[in-house]
Amino acid sequence: MNPKLKSEAENIYLILSALFIASLVTSNLIFQKFFSFDFFGLHTVELSVGILPYPVTFLITDIISEIYGKKRAHKLVMAGLFASAFMLLIIIVSSWVNATDWSPVQNEEFKKVFGFTFIAVAASLMAYLLAQFIDVQLFHFWKRKTKGKHLWLRNNASTFTSQFIDTFTVLFLLCSFKVIEWELFAILLLNGYLFKVVIALLDTPIIYFIVYLFKRRFRMDNKLTELQF
């Protein structure tokens, strides 16, 4: 690869990494707000708003796995882990200091919004590590099995499995620490996983289009070739 294309590929990787980390951190910060969502008039679900940016992380890891390879995908997962841990440290320190009398947000309000963040982020990080590494491993397993063909299969097969593991693990830990009541576990698991499956199916054309643009721009063939640096 010539230096110009190499620099461009690195810049795109940096942008994708930034989107990945922003989606991951945001999902952990906003999780305490819940909303209802109507699936085409067939089924109404109640979900945390934290679920909205989270599927973006799996889409990006699949894109990076396909184009940049397993090693780069693992580096991204670890970067997300450190970013989340640093975010948690900032929240802990922010909770320790007292608000001034004129502060628009007082201690009680801050703790109400971020009080469960430590437990939620800890639960999310455990689920995140497990699910993302499984996602990357399964993606490359199916890529080898299909000899680089059937992108839709490895994209969805890896995401369906990893998203279920992620949803189950987070809810199990949140219920265990009494952040969420156990009677909500089953319905939130069903609703959360259903939402993620639908999003994963909808993003299949997106990943095909993005991979097509990559392969055209960087002159990649249709075999197992990934960008070489």
- As a whole number of angstroms, the distance between CA 187 and CA 32 comes to 17
Whether 222 is covered by a domain: the verdict is no
Yes or no: say if 87 and 130 are a contact pair by the CB < 8 Å rule. Answer: no
pLDDT on residue 100? 93
- Report pLDDT for 196: 82
Position 206 in a domain: yes
Q: How far is CA 210 from the centre of its chain?
A: 18
Q: Is residue 109 part of a domain?
A: yes
Where helices occur in the chain by DSSP H, the ranges are: 3-29, 54-67, 70-96, 107-114, 117-145, 151-176, 185-202, 204-217
Answer whether 73's CB lies under 8 Å from 136's CB.
yes
Find the Cα–Cα–Cα–Cα dihedral 38, 42, 48, 54, rounded to 10°: -100
Residue 46 lies in a domain: no
Domain presence at residue 205? yes
pTM: 0.81
Q: Is the dihedral of CA 151, 157, 161, 167 positive or negative?
A: positive
Rounded average pLDDT over 87-92? 85
Looking at residue 44, the DSSP 8-state letter turns out to be E
Q: At what angle do helices 117-145 and 3-29 cross, to 10 degrees?
A: 140
**Residue 15's pLDDT band (cuts 50, 70, 90):** very high
DSSP 8-state secondary structure symbol assigned to residue 52: T
Residue 187 lies in a domain: yes
Q: What is the CATH classification number for the domain harbouring 209?
A: 1.10.1760
**Euclidean distance between CA atoms 22 and 6, whole angstroms:** 24
pLDDT at 224 over 50: no
How far apart (Å, rounded) are the C-alpha atoms in residues 77 and 61?
Answer: 8
pLDDT, tens only, 104-125: 989 888 887 776 666 666 777 7
For 143-164, what is the mean pLDDT? 82
Percentage of the residues of the chain whose pLDDT score is greater than 70: 91
| Listed range (6-15, 59-68, 130-139) with the worst mean pLDDT | 130-139
- Domain of residue 79, residue span: 3-32+54-217
Please give the structure tokens belonging to residue 134: 């499984």
The pLDDT-based confidence of 48 (bands split at 50, 70, 90) is: confident
Residue 41 belongs to some domain of the structure: no
| pLDDT bucket at 158, cuts 50 / 70 / 90 | confident
**106 found inside a domain:** yes
- Total domain count, the chain: 1
